């Protein structure tokens, strides 16, 4: 299996490089090809002749997207369209990494792949628009929505609050946003399995179980053996530039269709903390 990966230096991309070690992999960063430059994207895919093109590169700063709308749309939507057009021209399948933030969070139960998109942030909008465009360009595209990524390849929630705990005896953490923390090595393995099964359509892929950010933080400190106190607060008490969906838990039904199971997020967190330097 020949695979071309855009976003090889990202949080997920670094684990995808490891998970795809058995494939003929062309791993690209933004230095190799700018998603906003169609000629660069087309050349990269044409030269590597992949069976699968995986697009995990994105502008993922959710709050930054609010003040950089044009950049968010040009990278996350227009860039994805450039990759889809190049993949179609080269006869390559396409896997696109999307987000739980395409939903508004008003649903009380986990979101199914068929639920309507209704993003409440620029980041979510850029991904939702990309999904719609890609399904038009490549009807057999595989769109994988995931959530709350954490791993060792870059900035993530556990790393951030563990660092804050070094200088603060108590942290305030939002307790009215619920989702599923997802460990990037687990996700990378699942994405590789989906490619090998020639998956298509929309798939929801997260670690099993769900929690609030407050519950996530409490578990982190408990497992790490730290005395840091965690205070639950509301989103209204902790305003951010971008709105977040209060519930963005994704149903695993689409993933189970491919007989792929994720470990519980608590199990993933323990492995993450055990591997920290």
Q: What would the pLDDT profile of 123-142 be if each residue is shown by its tens digit?
A: 999 999 999 999 999 999 99
pLDDT at 277 over 80: no
Does 276 or 81 have the greater pLDDT score? 81
The conformation of residue 242, written as its DSSP 8-state character, comes to S
- Assess if CATH 3.40.50.720 describes domain 2-155+182-209+248-263: yes
Query: What Cα–Cα distance (Å) separates residue 29 from each residue in 6, 145, 191?
Result: 6, 21, 19
CA pair distance 151, 96, nearest whole angstrom: 19
Active site residues: 123
Report d(CA 223, CA 272) in Å as an integer.
Answer: 11
Under the banding of pLDDT at 50, 70 and 90, the label for residue 223 is: very high
Task: Give the rounded distance of the alpha carbon of 156 from its chain centre.
Answer: 12
CA dist list (Å): 18 to 6, 57, 213? 14, 16, 28
- Which tokens belong to 2? 């020949």
Q: Model confidence at 184, in pLDDT bands (50, 70, 90)?
A: very high
* Per-residue model confidence (pLDDT) at position 153: 85
Contact predicate 145/250, CB 8 Å: yes
Quote the CA–CA distance of 95 and 228 in Å, as a whole number: 40
pTM of the entire structure?
A: 0.97
Mean pLDDT, the chain, as a whole number? 97
Q: What is the pLDDT of residue 91?
A: 98
Rounded to an integer, the average pLDDT of 222-244 is: 95
């Amino acid at each position: 299996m020949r695979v071309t990966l855009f976003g090889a230096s990202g949080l997920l991309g670094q684990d995808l490089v490891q998970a795809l070690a058995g494939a003929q992999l062309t791993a690209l960063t933004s230095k190799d090809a700018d998603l906003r430059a169609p000629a660069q994207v087309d050349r990269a895919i044409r030269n590597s002749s992949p069976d699968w093109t995986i697009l995990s590169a994105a502008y993922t700063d959710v709050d930054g997207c609010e003040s950089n709308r044009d950049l968010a749309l040009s990278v996350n939507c227009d860039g994805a369209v450039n990759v889809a057009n190049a993949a179609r021209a080269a006869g390559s399948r396409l896997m696109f990494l999307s987000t739980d933030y395409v939903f508004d969070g008003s649903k009380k139960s986990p979101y199914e792949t068929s639920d309507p998109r209704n993003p409440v942030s620029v980041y979510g909008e850029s991904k939702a628009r990309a999904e719609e465009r890609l399904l038009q360009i490549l009807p057999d595209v595989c769109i994988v929505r995931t959530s709350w990524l954490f791993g060792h390849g870059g900035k993530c929630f556990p790393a951030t609050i563990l660092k804050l705990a070094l200088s603060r005896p108590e942290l305030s953490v939002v307790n009215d946003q619920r989702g599923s923390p997802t460990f990037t090595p687990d996700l990378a393995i699942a994405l590789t399995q989906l490619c090998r099964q020639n998956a298509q359509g929309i798939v929801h892929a997260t670690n099993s179980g769900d929690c609030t950010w407050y519950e996530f933080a409490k578990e982190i400190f408990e497992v790490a053996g730290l005395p840091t106190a965690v205070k639950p607060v509301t989103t209204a008490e902790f305003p951010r530039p971008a709105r977040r969906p209060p519930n963005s838990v994704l149903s695993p039904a689409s993933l189970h269709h491919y007989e792929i199971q994720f470990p519980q997020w608590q199990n993933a967190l323990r492995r993450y903390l055990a591997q920290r330097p």
